[in-house]
C-alpha cells in the first residue's frame, strides 16, 4: 500500500511539474538520471529514444541488433530475438513496463497447424461457446465447424434475429484442458516461436511464476487462443474488452484471414 501511495504521489507531483513547466523539477518522471524511470524533456514529452541512447544501453549492443524505434522513439520493434544483444535491448524496455514488438516470430512456425481449415478438420465436431461481440451474448450449442466456416466467408456467418451478421469470437478456448495436453503438436510448435524463452516459456529459468511454491495460487500461464472475426466496418464493436492482465503476457499473431467472398469490405479476422 505504501508503494502505491508513493507512486500516486509521484504522479501527482509530476502533473504539477508539467502544468507549471517547472525548469528545476527533479521528480522521478522529469529526472533523466533516475534509474528505472523514463526521462522527460522540458516540453513534457517522454524521451524514450534519447534515454536509451544516452548511455543506459551501450551503443555496441544496439548496433548488433536489427531494430527500429516507432512513435518517435517510444516503441521498440525488434527484428530478431535470438542472442544476448537482443535480450539486453528487450530488457531495457521491459524493466520500464514498456511494450515491445518482436517481428519474425512466424518464421519459426509450421503455419499449417494454425490455418482455420486445420482446426475445423480436427475439432469441427466439438461444441464451443461463442460470444457475439456486438452484444456480449454467449451462444451455446454451436459446433466449432460453424464458427470456422465463417472465419473467411461472410456469407457463412451466423446471423441474429434481425438478419444482421454476427461478429463472433471463441470464448476461452480450450476452456478447461491444458493447451499442451489437448494440442501437443501446436504447443511444441508455439514454444519454438516464442521470443526470449528464459522469460516466456512456462518453465523458463527467469519466469518467476514457475518457481513459486505449490501452496501459492499461480496465474494461468496458458497458452490460450484468442480467435475472433474482424470488425473493420463496425468500429463500435470490439472483440476484446479493456482489461488488466495479472501478469506480463506475450501475444503471437498466428494467422490473419481476409474473407474470400467480400474482399472490398476488409473484414480482417485474426487468430492469436
For the residues 263-271, what does the mean pLDDT come to? 53
Q: Please tell me the distance from the alpha carbon of residue 229 to that of residue 248, in angstroms, as a whole number.
A: 25
Does residue 114 share a domain with residue 83?
no
If phi > 0 it is left, if psi is from -120 to 50 it is alpha, else beta; for residue 118 that is: alpha
> Residue 117 above 50 pLDDT?
yes
Report whether 218 contacts 212 (CB < 8 A).
Answer: yes
**pLDDT digit string, tens, across residues 30-87:** 544 333 333 333 333 333 333 444 345 555 556 678 899 998 888 999 998 888 889 9
Do both 31 and 95 map to the same domain? yes
Residues 270, 191, 224, 74: is their CA dihedral positive or negative?
Answer: negative
Q: Note whether 260 and 269 are within 8 A (CB).
A: no
Instruction: For 222-259, write each residue's pLDDT tens digit.
Output: 888 899 998 777 788 888 888 888 788 899 999 998 88
In this structure, the answer to whether residues 212 and 93 fall within a common structural domain is no
Which pTM value belongs to this model? Answer: 0.70
Residue 185 has pLDDT above 50, yes or no: yes
Task: Tell me: do 143 and 236 sit in the same domain.
Answer: yes
pLDDT above 70 for 5:
no
Looking at the fold, whether 7 and 55 belong to one and the same domain comes out as yes
Same domain, 133 and 253: yes
534519447: which residue's cell?
50
- Mind listing the pLDDT tens digit for each residue in 97-111? 899 999 988 888 999
Do 103 and 115 belong together in one domain?
no
Enclosing domain of residue 19:
2-107
CB atoms inside a 10 Å sphere around CB 95: 10
Same domain flag for 121 and 201: yes
Question: Average pLDDT in the 211-216 region?
Answer: 85
The answer, yes or no, to whether the previous bond of 122 is cis (omega within 30 of 0) is no
Supply the CATH number for residue 254's domain.
2.60.120.650
* Residue bearing cell 469441427: 124
Name the band, by pLDDT with cuts 50, 70 and 90, for residue 189: very high
Q: Which of 45, 80, 107 is the last residue of a domain?
A: 107
The total domain count for the chain is 2
Amino acid at each position: 500500500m505504501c508503494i502505491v501511495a508513493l507512486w500516486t504521489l509521484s504522479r501527482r507531483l509530476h502533473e504539477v511539474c508539467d502544468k507549471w513547466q517547472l525548469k528545476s523539477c527533479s521528480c522521478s518522471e522529469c529526472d533523466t538520471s533516475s534509474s528505472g524511470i523514463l526521462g522527460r524533456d522540458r516540453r513534457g514529452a517522454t524521451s524514450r529514444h534519447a534515454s536509451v541512447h544516452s548511455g543506459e544501453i551501450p551503443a555496441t549492443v544496439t548496433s548488433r541488433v536489427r531494430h527500429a524505434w516507432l512513435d518517435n522513439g517510444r516503441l521498440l520493434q525488434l527484428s530478431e530475438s535470438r542472442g544476448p544483444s537482443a535480450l539486453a535491448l528487450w530488457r531495457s524496455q521491459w524493466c520500464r513496463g514498456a511494450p515491445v514488438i518482436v517481428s519474425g516470430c512466424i518464421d519459426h512456425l509450421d503455419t499449417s497447424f494454425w490455418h482455420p481449415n486445420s482446426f475445423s478438420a480436427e475439432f469441427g465436431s466439438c461444441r464451443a461457446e461463442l460470444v457475439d461481440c456486438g452484444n456480449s451474448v454467449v451462444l451455446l450449442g454451436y459446433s466449432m465447424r460453424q464458427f470456422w466456416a465463417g472465419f473467411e466467408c461472410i456469407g457463412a456467418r451466423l446471423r441474429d434475429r434481425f438478419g444482421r451478421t454476427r461478429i463472433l469470437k471463441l470464448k476461452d478456448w480450450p476452456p478447461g484442458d491444458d493447451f499442451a495436453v489437448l494440442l501437443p503438436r501446436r504447443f511444441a510448435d508455439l514454444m519454438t516461436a516464442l521470443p526470449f524463452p528464459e522469460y516466456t516459456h512456462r518453465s523458463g529459468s527467469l519466469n518467476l511464476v514457475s518457481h513459486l511454491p505449490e501452496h501459492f495460487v499461480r496465474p494461468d500461464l496458458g497458452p490460450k487462443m484468442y480467435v475472433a472475426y474482424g470488425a473493420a466496418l463496425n468500429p463500435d464493436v470490439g472483440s476484446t474488452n479493456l482489461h488488466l492482465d495479472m501478469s506480463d503476457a506475450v501475444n503471437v499473431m498466428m494467422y490473419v484471414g481476409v474473407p474470400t467472398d467480400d474482399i472490398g469490405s476488409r473484414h480482417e479476422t485474426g487468430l492469436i
